[in-house]
């Protein structure tokens, strides 16, 4: 399992936002733990999630995993999984990939 620098920063940002802006440190920790667990489970069946339905993104075969209100974008590379980005689901994420 590999995380891009953007994905690492996304997770840090999500945790900080929930912890400090929303003042919900326990919720922040639970969400990040849940995300990491769901991401880790991808190793058992990485193709379970569909490729994102966008002409450009289809070419690079990015898939999406929903975790609560967040989307984990990933791709299968050789024998590994790369976590590309993690974003709030209601965000205009197409342009950010």
At 46-93, the pLDDT tens digits run: 999 999 988 888 889 999 999 999 999 999 998 899 999 999 998 777
Tokens standing for residue 80: 């590994």
Q: Look at the chain and report how many structural domains it folds into.
A: 1
Query: Could you tell me the residue range of the domain that residue 78 belongs to?
Result: 2-96
CATH number for the domain spanning 42: value is 3.30.2310.20
At 6-60, the pLDDT tens digits run: 999 999 999 999 999 999 999 999 999 999 999 999 999 999 999 998 888 888 9
Long-range contacts of 8-13, Cβ-Cβ distance < 8 Å, separation of 24 or more: 10/85, 10/86, 10/87, 11/35, 11/86
């Amino acid at each position: 399992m590999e995380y891009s620098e953007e994905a690492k920063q996304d997770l840090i940002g999500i945790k900080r936002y929930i912890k400090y802006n929303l003042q919900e440190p326990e919720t922040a920790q639970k969400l990040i733990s849940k995300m990491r667990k769901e991401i880790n489970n991808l190793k058992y069946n990485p193709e379970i999630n569909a490729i994102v339905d966008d002409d450009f993104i289809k070419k690079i075969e990015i898939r999406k995993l929903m975790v609560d209100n967040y989307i984990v974008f990933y791709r299968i590379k050789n024998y590994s999984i790369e976590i590309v980005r993690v974003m709030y689901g209601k965000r205009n994420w197409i342009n950010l990939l």
